[in-house]
Amino acid sequence: MNHPNRKETITVLVDGRTKAKLRRLAGDSYRTLSGYVRHLILAHIREAEALRGPIPDEEPLCPGPGRGTIKGI
């Protein structure tokens, strides 16, 4: 498991219109684009955990080649 306070980088590809809309929404909530996307991700995780219970973080959800498998699939 990663250190809980360590920030990791992910890359997300979106079209220009989506990015512009995200920037607008980020500005409306006084956040940077990165901060707004992080806010959306964390809000979705909280919502999913409220419905399903805690999500384990011991293994990657989408392992890449050579990183293991998703249990139960």
Digit-coded pLDDT (tens) for 43-55: 999 999 999 999 9
Domain regions of the chain by residue span? 1-73
pLDDT at 73: 42
HEC string for the chain:
CCCCCCCCCCCCCCCHHHHHHHHHHHHHCCCCHHHHHHHHHHHHHHHHHHHHCCCCCCCCCCCCCCCCCCCCC
pLDDT in tens, 4-24: 678 889 999 999 999 999 999
10 Å CB burial of residue 22 (0-12, 13-18, 19+) is middle
